[in-house]
Structure 1
Amino acid sequence: MTSVQIPTDITPSEQQAQQYFIKGNYTQAASYYEQAIETEPEVKSHYWNLGLMLLLQGQEAEAQMTWLLGMEEGEVQQVEQWTVELIKVLQTEAERRETLADYSVAWAIRQHIREISPIYVNNLLYLIELSIKLKTFTGDELTSLEVIELIQSEAIIDIELLLQVLGSIINDDPLHSSVLEFAKCCLTHVSEPQSFINILLPAAVKIAHSMQQPKVAISLIELCLRLEPENTELLRHLASFYLRDYNYSQGIEIAKLCYSLSKSLTDQVFAKHLIQRGLMEAPAYWNEACTVSLEQESLLKSLIEEQPINLESARVLRLFNANYYAPYLQDNPHKNREIQNQVAQLCQLNVQEYATEKVQQYKQRILHNRNKQIKIGYLSHCLSRHSVGWLARWLIQHHTREQFDIYGYFINYKQVDDSLQGWYVQQFNQAYLGGIYSDDIAEKIYEDEIDILIDLDSITLDVTCEIMALKPAPVQVTWLGWDASGIPAVDYFIADPYVLPDSAQEYYTEKIWRLPQTYIAVDGFEIGVPTLRRDSLAIPSNAVVFLSAQRGFKRHPDTARLQMRIIKEVPNSYFLIKGIADSEAVQKFFMQLAEEEGVEYSRLRFLDLDPSESVHRANLAIADVVLDTFPYNGATTTLETLWMGIPLITRVGQQFAARNSYTMMMNAGITEGIAWTDEEYVQWGVRLGKDEKLREQISWKLRQSRHTAPLWNAKQFTRDMEKAYEQMWQRYLDI
């Protein structure tokens, strides 16, 4: 218990009262204060303390009467002074209770302070803070207590307390309608902008990504920018949030402003990456995207040549995925991988520099039992209703628990209702619901003594990259989420005989581990009820329907032009276009191509996104043929198309991203539709568009493949992965 100082200049009765108060004997303490009042009725502090003793016994009415008795017959000025003294007595006890974590009593005392002085704003702030600690805060208190109005009236406010409460509120209930207004009213009292930014920025990141509410996050960042309008860190996040909210034009504009203000080479690289991201989502800006890509390549080469090894974590994080869009623009794995590998190596050198102690600690891990079950850790921000989540679930489901302990490490655990995320949490022996901090998650992986860590994200998430660079597990593997990251701390990259050519090892730093048949297999997909009908789209029932459903940055103009040539050459054909992108820009992009290739606008249909993945899969059935993208193929979309028994045309290249559909078709037993040149792509499109019998044969083969093909045998695929894990682990032990 916190000690209470007893003044030396007090009466014996008051001294006795204080002693009993300290011991929690409020009845005896009250008795002595009553004696003190009889002895010294003019000493008002006796009334304040007696009322407090009664209050602590639950006698609220009696406490109030005692305080009123002490104030009766006083002049206005005296009553004001006595009220200040009474509040001080109550506040001192409230603070003592707070240090003892006795929040309910502290809250009750502060409620009485509020009744005595309803506009004492600091007390109201403490009440809110206590409500949060007691888990009774609803957010409505900001309105009911009129706190916002009082703060706006420029009352005398404890700034440190104000910011503390702002942080507590925004962490407790960030989406409440009054939170933004509360943050806004705090602005006029902020003298140190960074203290305000340090509260709102992490909250905005959480709101945008974990809670998937980028609009709210945008509003918070814009508040911060009122204090520092040229803060590049704020502008970077703001641009990212706009892009996440599909407001590409605004995101591009902010990213360009950020680039113009960036002084260091690393900051320029990331600002350029954001510009590129916005442009890539809007195919109408493809030429500008290509120009920006060349500028980014030049910046990265300069950075690689400079080789800075004193970069702080925030800059390294942004650098990991700065080369992300290269494979979407060109199928040139030799060049793309060389740059990616060099950037990843530079990042790891910096990680080793600023996290030397941890890197050394993880490197010196002691293996206690070589014959135990192998501990496999799966690391990702996508263990949810995400493409990676839909595909990786079969491996997790079929894992042999007798041989392997399976751990799941969720990065930026999404605080939303997600049934698949909930399923994953239940499947792992242990699930760590992590945030966005690499060191926390890496330390947990190390403490859990994970033997083999599987990275499902690659460079799609910077936090994952930093964790892998720290190397918290002795064997580290990249699988599924993207191409390999190039991080030297990653030992293996999972592939198969088709998805990478034999010569690929020369441009990978990771050892390519080829599974015998396929690097991915699923047992199937849930199919919903279709919502698309040909008649609702004004498409004749006897028409040939082509479909392309991909994100904007996969729509390379050269491939889109080939698709237009197919539509032109197949009579009575229509082209359905769907996917996350700037919808206006996508329509402009395809309309222009149609005009250039002589295709009537009336043969194009632009579809809205479906309400769920299962409905999307059901709606694929409206298509006769699906046209894949190049140089970046579909992956989950390809699997869904093949599962629905729909013929697919894909163009095969050299890089991993240009061979995804190829390996999936081969592992489904289908070669019809595999094109090795642009000319073959068009030829297959025209042939399948005109040959209904061939389409039916392919559909029949795909339906039959469900019972025999490696692509649909997730259990066998799991055995192949487990065998790979055992061999990887044995190699490690043999070193």
Structure 2
Amino acid sequence: MTSVQLHTDITSLEQQAQQYFIKGNYSQAANYYEQAIETEPEVKSHYWNLGLILLLQGQETEAQMTWLVGMGEGEVQEVDQWTIELIQVLQTEAERRKTLADYKIAWAIRQHIREINPTDVNNLLYLIELAIKQETLIDDELTSLGVIDLIQSEPIVDIQLLLQVLESIFNYDPLHPAVPAFAEACLAHVHEPQSFINILLPATVKIAHSMRQPKLAALLLELFLRLEPENLAILRHLGAFYLKANNYSKGIEVAKLCYSLSNTLIDKIFAIHLLHRGLMDCPAFWEEACEVFQQQQNMMMLLLEEKFLNLSSEQVLHLFNSNYFAPYLQDNIQKNRYIQNQIASLCQMNVENYASEEVQRYQQRTSKGRNSKLKIGYLSHCLSRHSVGWLARWLIQHHNREEFDMYGYFINYKQINDPLQEWYVQQFTQAYKGGIYSEDIAEKIYQDEIDILIDLDSITLDVTCEIMALKPAPVQVTWLGWDASGIPAVDYFIADPYVLPESAQEYYTEKIWRLPQTYIAVDGFEVGIPTLRRDSLDISNDAVIYLSAQRGFKRHPDTARLQMKIIKEVPNSYFLIKGLADSEAVQKFFMQIAEEEGVGCDRLRFLPQDSSEAVHRANLTIADVVLDTFPYNGATTTLETLWMGIPLVTRVGQQFAARNSYTMMMNVGVTEGIAWTDEEYIEWGVRLGKDEALRQQVVLKLKASRQTAPLWNGKQFTREMEKAYKEMWQRYIEVK
């Protein structure tokens, strides 16, 4: 046989072997490679390919023996070169299998590469990625493979692969204990910080909010600061994570750093809002918070004069809720609403600029027929164990499914065990478990052809604001979560005869839709077993207990001073204080005011947070009288107080936030405790403390109200909301 014929025969054998291999006929492919080895035993690639085929047939021992035979009695340098060639054959097939989504086979092949070369860091990275794709990554695999140590010590790593695996780990198991170490190991190989932050930032937002682990999110962002210690975007998120984790001192420190690094008016507004948020949760810094608030108000007026119309989506998102704290500091409906409306209008103009295509497309929708069911969409990040979640459930439960289809749009769906969230998911005709991207959720709302979109967040969440500004539904309404947002794309704001004064419409861009009795009603609350006892607090049975349970934002010093005056006037009285805030700052705040008002600090008790909402409600019953906050009243806490039959003293103002308790008391049939001035607040507080018979009279009224009051009739309230929806839709149809 000539050499030409021999070469032709070998080539033909290899081609046929490959054809059978690609078709998955491993037996025939193996036969041809065996013939090739007999004909040309010195060609090592035949051994490598035959071993691969045997491996894929599950004949691992035979595969390894074939490779060993191929290695023969070569010299060390030859064996090293042949090993490289063998690995290349295996890598090529592993990559092909991955392309075919045959992840199990690709993983098995790479396990053999690992046996041959256990320190090939890129192969280990591929193994992790393939395990994630199969959802088989074992808890300790990130550490047992030794990949983190290798990433740290290896000078050359495929950075694209490294970041790809990091992103896969974040998506698969962001709370894995090895995640911080893995992310830290990546730092030495990152030459383009933006590529790293594009992966890290969305992951930390998910960890902080969806998984409620802000401390871990902050730890991960701290890593990035090693690359860019003055990155404003990262610092803003880091400061917010610290505050969410109740690390107020660090949050304030980062916010001040943000402000010092800010060169533009927009950046300064964002930084000062973050600083204000930190200071508001530390009542001891109230004076500084007021100074910062005034600075912020001045900056906002400058911003409104400039009318920036080229802002990015990220800038607009930060701007939407930058005026959030105004109602906590002042009951000035005219000024607060003016700035809020102007800011919201500016934001919407920018949304219409950078998302003009979507906005125009949404505006071109066609009207639905009148005879079909109305599609109602509920949009919120709070349909879970949150105040909004506890209160909105009765409307959802009592909805008439024969007349309405209900769609739930969950923003930043909580990836934790939350029975209330899962209850909501089950109640909706369709539930969309959304993330943090406005455009995705808005598009889904549009595609679902929602008729009326109900926003339950207002400006408490920037993503919600951007969705509403895009106007994916023809009729849009704000209800429950806060005061109105002022976004021009929102048509209506749900209120009632009491929660806004009669003159309020002149301050709102939305049409105020007043329900006939109340803007909220519940059928009740789950109540646990109380864990508070008078003797454990060293309080006698004949003492009068006042209580205030609100977060730090609501601790206005003027109101705290009124509360101390009440305590001073009522002998043998004590004041219980609890709520989410910087506990040390809260104690310092109240003790200083107590001393100034001549009240002994031994009459104050500072309580920790309760283990659950049900236990919190049960523990309210230790109080004889609850003292409300002002200018921002309680809402959920007021409902809980009234449901538990406890007298309440509230100060009524002009803005929505200052009239929540007022409307709830009116709708429960109790006027004792409603104060229109500071003097009346003190008078009611003292009177209810001293007059036990009056207290009992109020308690009996509250207990009787459970059978008759609009506030406790979720079904009747639902019918009124549904009637409002129908009328809103009819108006839209008539105008359209």
**TM-score interval, smaller chain:** over 0.9
CA offsets 1:452-492 (integer angstroms, 9 cap, x no match): 00000000000000000000000000000000000000000
- Residue 567 in 1 paired to residue 600 in 2? no
* Aligned twin of 1:641: 641
**Alignment of structure 1 residues 102-181 onto 2, 5 Å:** 102-181=102-181
Aligned partners of 1:474, 1:10: CA distance in 2, in Å?
A: 72
TM-score by length of 1: 0.98
**Identity within the alignment, %:** 78
- Residue 590 in 1 paired to residue 590 in 2? yes
The one-letter code sitting in structure 1 at the alignment partner of 2:596 is E
CA offsets 1:205-226 (integer angstroms, 9 cap, x no match): 1000000001110111001110
Partner of 1:308, secondary structure, is: coil
Is the contact between residue 367 and residue 733 of structure 2 (CA under 8 Å) also seen in structure 1?
no
CA offsets 1:137-169 (integer angstroms, 9 cap, x no match): 134211111101111112431111111111111
Aligned partners of 2:358, 2:560: CA distance in 1, in Å?
A: 48
* Aligned twin of 2:209: 209
| 1:221/1:10 CA distance change after superposition, 3 Å | farther
* Aligned twin of 2:4: none
- Residue 48 in 1 paired to residue 54 in 2? no
Partner of 1:227, secondary structure, is: coil
Give the unaligned 5+ runs of structure 1.
1-6
- Residue 17 in 1 paired to residue 29 in 2? no
Aligned partners of 2:670, 2:23: CA distance in 1, in Å?
A: 83
Partner of 1:483, secondary structure, is: coil
- Residue 271 in 1 paired to residue 271 in 2? yes
Partner of 2:119, secondary structure, is: coil
Aligned partners of 2:445, 2:627: CA distance in 1, in Å?
A: 42
The one-letter code sitting in structure 2 at the alignment partner of 1:158 is D
Aligned partners of 2:626, 2:306: CA distance in 1, in Å?
A: 46
Partner of 1:58, secondary structure, is: coil
Aligned partners of 1:10, 1:440: CA distance in 2, in Å?
A: 56
Is the contact between residue 377 and residue 450 of structure 1 (CA under 8 Å) also seen in structure 2?
yes
* Aligned twin of 2:721: 721
Partner of 2:191, secondary structure, is: coil
* Aligned twin of 2:95: 95
TM-score by length of 2: 0.98
Q: CA deviation at 1:304?
A: 0.6
Q: CA deviation at 1:196?
A: 1.1
The one-letter code sitting in structure 1 at the alignment partner of 2:663 is T
* Aligned twin of 1:409: 409
Deviates more, 1:167-176 or 1:485-494: 167-176
Aligned partners of 2:512, 2:299: CA distance in 1, in Å?
A: 29
| 1:8/1:38 CA distance change after superposition, 3 Å | closer
**Alignment of structure 1 residues 323-342 onto 2, 5 Å:** 323-342=323-342
Runs of 4+ deviating beyond 6 Å: none
Aligned partners of 2:309, 2:15: CA distance in 1, in Å?
A: 65
* Aligned twin of 1:611: 611
Is the contact between residue 139 and residue 179 of structure 1 (CA under 8 Å) also seen in structure 2?
no
Q: CA deviation at 1:195?
A: 1.0
The one-letter code sitting in structure 2 at the alignment partner of 1:424 is Y
Q: CA deviation at 1:369?
A: 2.1
Q: CA deviation at 1:15?
A: 2.2
* Aligned twin of 2:499: 499
Aligned partners of 1:558, 1:136: CA distance in 2, in Å?
A: 58
Aligned partners of 1:343, 1:334: CA distance in 2, in Å?
A: 14
* Aligned twin of 1:576: 576
Aligned partners of 1:608, 1:713: CA distance in 2, in Å?
A: 32
Aligned partners of 2:172, 2:13: CA distance in 1, in Å?
A: 46
Aligned partners of 1:500, 1:156: CA distance in 2, in Å?
A: 65
Q: CA deviation at 1:9?
A: 11
* Aligned twin of 1:675: 675
Partner of 2:225, secondary structure, is: helix
The one-letter code sitting in structure 1 at the alignment partner of 2:60 is E
The one-letter code sitting in structure 1 at the alignment partner of 2:137 is F
Aligned partners of 2:440, 2:536: CA distance in 1, in Å?
A: 52
* Aligned twin of 1:558: 558
Partner of 2:407, secondary structure, is: strand
- Residue 35 in 1 paired to residue 12 in 2? no
Is the contact between residue 567 and residue 574 of structure 1 (CA under 8 Å) also seen in structure 2?
yes
| 1:275/1:8 CA distance change after superposition, 3 Å | farther
Give the unaligned 5+ runs of structure 2.
1-6
Aligned partners of 2:574, 2:368: CA distance in 1, in Å?
A: 64
CA offsets 1:641-673 (integer angstroms, 9 cap, x no match): 000000000000000000000000000000000
Q: CA deviation at 1:554?
A: 0.2
* Aligned twin of 2:249: 249
Q: CA deviation at 1:8?
A: 9.3
Q: CA deviation at 1:285?
A: 0.3
The one-letter code sitting in structure 2 at the alignment partner of 1:708 is T
Is the contact between residue 190 and residue 196 of structure 2 (CA under 8 Å) also seen in structure 1?
yes
CA offsets 1:693-720 (integer angstroms, 9 cap, x no match): 0000000000000000111111111011
* Aligned twin of 1:460: 460
The one-letter code sitting in structure 2 at the alignment partner of 1:436 is I
Aligned partners of 2:347, 2:8: CA distance in 1, in Å?
A: 64
Is the contact between residue 139 and residue 173 of structure 1 (CA under 8 Å) also seen in structure 2?
no
- Residue 258 in 1 paired to residue 258 in 2? yes
CA offsets 1:248-304 (integer angstroms, 9 cap, x no match): 111011011011111222111111100000000000000000000000001111111
Q: CA deviation at 1:34?
A: 0.7
- Residue 60 in 1 paired to residue 60 in 2? yes
CA offsets 1:492-532 (integer angstroms, 9 cap, x no match): 00000000011000000000000000000000000000000
* Aligned twin of 1:625: 625
* Aligned twin of 2:546: 546
- Residue 347 in 1 paired to residue 347 in 2? yes
Q: CA deviation at 1:74?
A: 1.0
Is the contact between residue 273 and residue 322 of structure 1 (CA under 8 Å) also seen in structure 2?
yes
Is the contact between residue 475 and residue 732 of structure 1 (CA under 8 Å) also seen in structure 2?
yes
* Aligned twin of 1:732: 732
The one-letter code sitting in structure 2 at the alignment partner of 1:60 is E
Is the contact between residue 452 and residue 477 of structure 1 (CA under 8 Å) also seen in structure 2?
yes
Partner of 1:109, secondary structure, is: helix
**Alignment of structure 1 residues 429-578 onto 2, 5 Å:** 429-578=429-578
Aligned partners of 2:319, 2:8: CA distance in 1, in Å?
A: 64
* Aligned twin of 2:237: 237
* Aligned twin of 1:687: 687
Count of aligned pairs between the two proteins: 729
| 1:710/1:19 CA distance change after superposition, 3 Å | same
* Aligned twin of 2:190: 190
Is the contact between residue 576 and residue 604 of structure 2 (CA under 8 Å) also seen in structure 1?
yes
The one-letter code sitting in structure 2 at the alignment partner of 1:669 is G
Is the contact between residue 139 and residue 178 of structure 1 (CA under 8 Å) also seen in structure 2?
no
| 1:74/1:421 CA distance change after superposition, 3 Å | same
Is the contact between residue 201 and residue 220 of structure 1 (CA under 8 Å) also seen in structure 2?
no
Q: CA deviation at 1:592?
A: 0.2
The one-letter code sitting in structure 2 at the alignment partner of 1:11 is T
Aligned partners of 2:223, 2:201: CA distance in 1, in Å?
A: 10
Is the contact between residue 205 and residue 217 of structure 1 (CA under 8 Å) also seen in structure 2?
yes
Aligned partners of 2:367, 2:339: CA distance in 1, in Å?
A: 36
Partner of 2:513, secondary structure, is: strand
Partner of 1:577, secondary structure, is: strand
* Aligned twin of 1:3: none
Is the contact between residue 10 and residue 36 of structure 2 (CA under 8 Å) also seen in structure 1?
no
Is the contact between residue 10 and residue 39 of structure 2 (CA under 8 Å) also seen in structure 1?
no
Is the contact between residue 480 and residue 520 of structure 2 (CA under 8 Å) also seen in structure 1?
yes
Partner of 2:605, secondary structure, is: strand
Aligned partners of 1:14, 1:282: CA distance in 2, in Å?
A: 76
Aligned partners of 1:362, 1:339: CA distance in 2, in Å?
A: 28
Partner of 2:505, secondary structure, is: helix
* Aligned twin of 1:4: none
Q: How large is the RMSD of aligned CA atoms in angstroms?
A: 1.0
Aligned partners of 2:12, 2:100: CA distance in 1, in Å?
A: 28
* Aligned twin of 1:298: 298
| 1:8/1:313 CA distance change after superposition, 3 Å | farther
Aligned partners of 1:20, 1:348: CA distance in 2, in Å?
A: 62
CA offsets 1:545-570 (integer angstroms, 9 cap, x no match): 00000010101000000000000000
